[in-house]
Amino acid sequence: MPTLSRQQLVILILLTLVWGINWPIMKAGVTDYPPLTFRALSMLLGVPVLGMALVLMKVPFRVPRAHWRELLWLTLTNMLVWHTLIIIAVKSLSSGRAAILGYTMPIFSAVLGAIWFGNRMLPRGWAGVSAAALGVLLLLWHEFTNLTGRPLGVLLALCAAATWALGTQSLRASRIPVATLTISFWMTLLTSLALTLLASVFEMPQWKAPSSVTWGSILYNAVLIFGFAHAAWFFLARSLPPVASTLSVMFIPVLGVFSGAWWLGEVLHWQDWTAVVLMVVAIASVLWPSAAPARAQRTG
């Protein structure tokens, strides 16, 4: 199991905070606004932020032509399907529970990696996956009755999570010889164009001027989600082992549930608090340094 560098740890903490509180922010943004249009505007405004980061950091924009096909596949699985389906799910579900369903991704990813991508999973990793799965079930405890009346939203969120899991494993296996920030820029740009097309086809009759709350949500997503969080996640996904990079973000849905409760007044139960403990166990199972290397170092 890996020991995080200081840079990885700082990025992980910031990513958890930014993504966690975004769930009630997204819910507020799409409550009275077309979801695909909301997402398209957020991404279109986020692309210049990413582009400016590349310019300031002197990171090349160019992706070799031989890797365009792989870039399109990574865009489809990591961003386009995820953002299209999950924002529609957020519209129909509570923000916290949409976060929980969306963050079944690490569970899908760990299992996919072990079965189809040849990733070796130690018992500690499987324990983490089991703890995370149990935590998800507990967080959904009081939602099962409501969810049965909203099967489309649940199905969309789970499909989004499974596709994102596949994309995460594909990104991990990618050998595109460019910086992660460059890949993030092109995936964001391509997804924003595709979502703009989808919003034009399906939501044009619903278009209207965003309210101040919606504008605030759009700007938060543009700057912090698409300008920072996705690039940060892609960096962790490419620099950490698969199980560590996926289970390490399992505290995000917990933060989503609690921030939604604070902002939107959702009631918390004992299952929610127990799930927090299980998520911490899941994270510790893959990120806590192993004692074996330490002993070996002392005896060496």
Give the max Cα distance, the chain: 71
CB 233 within 8 A of CB 249: yes
Give helix then strand counts, H and E, for the chain: 17, 0
Which pLDDT does position 150 carry in this prediction? 61
| pLDDT for 179 | 94
pLDDT for res 209: 95
Cβ-proximal residues to 190 (8 Å cutoff; 6+ apart), any chain: 71, 72, 75, 79, 80
C-alpha to C-alpha distance for 251 and 159, rounded to whole angstroms = 21
- Which of 119, 105, 232 shows the shortest CA–CA distance to 166? 105
Instruction: Indicate the domain borders of the chain.
Output: 6-288
pLDDT at residue 145, rounded to an integer? 57
Query: Which residue do the tokens 């976060």 mark?
Result: 99
Rounded Cα distance between 51 and 293, Å, is: 41
296: burial class by Cβ within 10 Å (0-12, 13-18, 19+)?
exposed
**If the chain, 300 residues long, is cut into consecutive pieces of 10 residues, what is the mean pLDDT of each piece?**
75 90 93 96 96 95 96 97 95 80 76 71 72 72 58 83 90 90 96 98 96 97 94 86 64 78 70 70 61 46
